[in-house]
């Protein structure tokens, strides 16, 4: 079998890998047939950031937690990349009850057990059992975040399969939810719970850094009854996608004049965008920042936030907690999340296609031929 490896900036390659051994009694083995590229993966692919981040951490300009997630030399290749997939289950362990071979499932980007204190609180990407003292336990970030491999592979081992694997409803086209493992769920958490608390609220999204998350957020906000959604981005193609969802759009140069929003989504990944999003909020508003702010000591307008009584929500997304509601919503409404996808590339072409400078890339291959009946390992 083969897995896609990040080798160095701009270079990816297939590498042969030993197939997984017998499936663990509580685990499963799945075969991804769609893999979407997380917005965050473009950071090491498009820029040679490894040495710069290492130097930045050494002199205190970059937050040391970057090393805890991505290694002492962050993003040093080779490592298995990819953490958004739709997969078919190929084998389940003897104790697994809720999924069976042949089912189509989403695999969340972070590994979680479903029973620890963090999982029970919905903080599934901070699972106490899986992280075991590490910052994250996840697919596709390299060995510092666990030995789970990446999702662009022929066989992915999934622990805690009854909890981890979330079946895709039969009526949902898999391409629609290709990014549900991470970025689609990230867009969801940034607007759906905040709008539930602020019904009919006005939403502003500053896009272009976390390229697909901002667009998913725009579409989901409109679909959840926002009074208005303003999507700002300097990229005309992304503005057209947001307009297709029903958002009003404009360039980021309008950011400084924004005021009176109930919900803000900061997806520029820039400190100036974060400050502008916070200043754009009405009293009681909430800003969810979905990008990376790697520098130590990012400045925030704390006095303005105090005076306006606003909330800043920062943190990893917890797709496993949100996926049942998200998938049921997509099934019920036909929400066209696939409109954010800008390239569907052939799986075999992954080393060449994955670095594409595009908003949202999805790799696709044929599913296995139908089997006769479920199989158990
Ligand atoms: Zn991601
Ligand atoms: Zn847990």
Per-residue pLDDT tens digits for 49-69: 888 889 999 999 998 888 888
Residue 248 phi, psi (nearest 5) = -85, 145
- Tell me how far the alpha carbon of residue 110 lies from the centroid of ligand 2, in angstroms: 10
Q: What is the pLDDT along the chain (377 residues), one digit of tens a residue?
A: 999 999 999 999 999 999 999 999 999 999 999 999 999 999 889 888 888 889 999 999 998 888 888 888 888 889 999 999 999 999 999 999 999 999 999 999 999 999 999 999 999 999 999 999 899 999 999 888 998 999 999 999 999 999 999 999 999 999 999 999 999 999 999 999 999 999 899 999 999 999 999 999 999 999 999 999 999 999 999 999 999 999 999 999 998 889 999 999 999 999 999 999 999 999 999 999 998 898 888 999 999 999 999 999 999 999 999 999 999 999 999 999 999 999 999 999 999 999 999 999 999 999 998 765 444 44
Query: CA-to-CA distance for 365 and 376, rounded, in angstroms?
Result: 24
Three-state DSSP class for residue 15? strand
Query: CA-to-CA distance for 148 and 129, rounded, in angstroms?
Result: 14
Minimum-distance ligand to the CA of 40?
Answer: 1
Q: For residue 133, what are its two tokens?
A: 């003292």
Please say whether the beta carbons of 109 and 81 come within 8 A.
Answer: no
**Is residue 161 within a helix (H) or strand (E), and if so which, with residue range?**
helix 161-164
Minimum-distance ligand to the CA of 151?
Answer: 1
Minimum-distance ligand to the CA of 164?
Answer: 2
**What residues have a C-beta under 5 A from ligand 1, the ion?**
38, 40, 182
**Is residue 195 within a helix (H) or strand (E), and if so which, with residue range?**
helix 183-197
What is the structure's pLDDT at 133? 86
Buried b / exposed e along 70-94 (16+ C-beta atoms within 10 A):
bbeebbbbebbbbbbbbbbbbbbbe
What is the structure's pLDDT at 377? 46
Query: CA-to-CA distance for 295 and 306, rounded, in angstroms?
Result: 23
Task: Kindly list the domain boundaries of the chain, sorted by start residue.
Answer: 2-181+319-364, 183-314
pTM value? 0.95
Query: CA-to-CA distance for 231 and 184, rounded, in angstroms?
Result: 17
Query: CA-to-CA distance for 377 and 101, rounded, in angstroms?
Result: 9
- Tell me how far the alpha carbon of residue 159 lies from the centroid of ligand 2, in angstroms: 11
Minimum-distance ligand to the CA of 121?
Answer: 2
Minimum-distance ligand to the CA of 84?
Answer: 1
Sign, Cα dihedral of 218, 222, 225, 228? positive
Measured torsion, CA atoms of residues 372, 373, 374, 377, in degrees rounded to the nearest 10: -60
Minimum-distance ligand to the CA of 124?
Answer: 2
Q: Which CATH superfamily is domain 2-181+319-364 in?
A: Medium-chain alcohol dehydrogenases, catalytic domain (3.90.180.10)
What is the structure's pLDDT at 358? 97
Q: Which residue has the tokens 């059992």?
A: 129
The residue among 178, 213, 84, 189 whose CA lies nearest residue 139 is 84
Q: Which CATH superfamily is domain 183-314 in?
A: NAD(P)-binding Rossmann-like Domain (3.40.50.720)
- Tell me how far the alpha carbon of residue 182 lies from the centroid of ligand 1, in angstroms: 6
- Tell me how far the alpha carbon of residue 206 lies from the centroid of ligand 1, in angstroms: 18
- Tell me how far the alpha carbon of residue 195 lies from the centroid of ligand 1, in angstroms: 23
What is the structure's pLDDT at 47? 84
Measured torsion, CA atoms of residues 121, 122, 126, 128, in degrees rounded to the nearest 10: 40
In Å, what is the CA distance from 238 to each residue of 161, 179, 182, 187, 340? 36, 17, 19, 15, 8
The residue among 166, 160, 163 whose CA lies nearest residue 26 is 160
CA 190, 298, 315: angle at the middle one, nearest 5?
30
- Tell me how far the alpha carbon of residue 108 lies from the centroid of ligand 1, in angstroms: 10
- Tell me how far the alpha carbon of residue 84 lies from the centroid of ligand 1, in angstroms: 7
- Tell me how far the alpha carbon of residue 194 lies from the centroid of ligand 2, in angstroms: 25
Asked, as a colleague might, if the bond just before 78 is cis with ω within 30 of 0, I would say: yes
> Which three-class secondary structure string do you get for 245-280?
HCCEEECHHHHHHCCCEEEEEECCCCHHHHHHHHHC
Q: 227 — alpha (psi -120 to 50), left (phi > 0) or beta?
A: alpha
Of the CA atoms within 13 Å of residue 257, those in its CB half-sphere come to 7
């Amino acid at each position: 079998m083969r897995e896609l490896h990040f080798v160095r900036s701009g270079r990816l390659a297939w590498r042969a890998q030993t197939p997984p051994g017998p499936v663990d009694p509580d685990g499963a083995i799945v075969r991804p047939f769609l893999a979407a590229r997380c917005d965050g993966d473009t950071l090491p692919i498009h820029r040679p950031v490894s040495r710069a981040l290492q130097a930045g951490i050494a002199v205190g300009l970059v937050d040391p937690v970057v090393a805890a997630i991505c290694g002492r030399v962050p993003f040093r290749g080779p490592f298995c990349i990819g953490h958004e997939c739709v997969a078919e289950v190929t084998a389940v362990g003897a104790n697994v009850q809720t999924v069976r071979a042949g089912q189509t499932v989403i695999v969340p980007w972070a590994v979680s057990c479903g029973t620890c204190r963090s999982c029970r609180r919905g903080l599934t990407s901070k699972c106490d059992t899986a992280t075991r003292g590490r910052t994250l336990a996840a697919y596709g970030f390299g060995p510092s975040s666990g030995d789970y491999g990446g999702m662009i592979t022929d066989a992915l081992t999934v622990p805690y399969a009854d909890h981890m694997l979330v079946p895709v409803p039969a009526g949902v086209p898999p391409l629609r939810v290709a990014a549900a493992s991470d970025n689609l769920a990230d867009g969801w958490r940034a607007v759906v719970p905040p709008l539930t608390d602020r019904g009919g609220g006005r939403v502003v999204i500053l896009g272009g850094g976390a390229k697909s998350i901002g667009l998913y957020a725009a579409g989901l906000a409109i679909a959840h009854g926002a009074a208005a959604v303003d999507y700002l981005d300097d990229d005309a193609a992304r503005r057209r996608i947001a307009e297709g969802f029903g958002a009003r759009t404009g360039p980021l140069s309008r950011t400084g004049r924004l005021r009176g929003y109930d919900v803000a989504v900061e997806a520029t990944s820039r400190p100036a965008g974060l400050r502008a999003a916070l200043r754009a909020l009405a009293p009681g508003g909430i800003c969810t920042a979905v990008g990376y702010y790697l520098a130590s000591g990012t400045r925030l307008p704390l006095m303005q936030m105090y005076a306006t009584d606003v909330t800043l929500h920062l943190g990893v997304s917890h797709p496993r907690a949100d996926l049942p509601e998200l998938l049921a919503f997509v099934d019920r409404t036909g929400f066209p999340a696939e409109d954010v996808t800008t390239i569907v590339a052939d799986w075999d072409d992954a080393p060449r296609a994955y670095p594409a400078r595009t908003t949202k890339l999805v790799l696709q291959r044929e599913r296995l031929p139908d089997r006769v009946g479920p199989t158990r390992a």
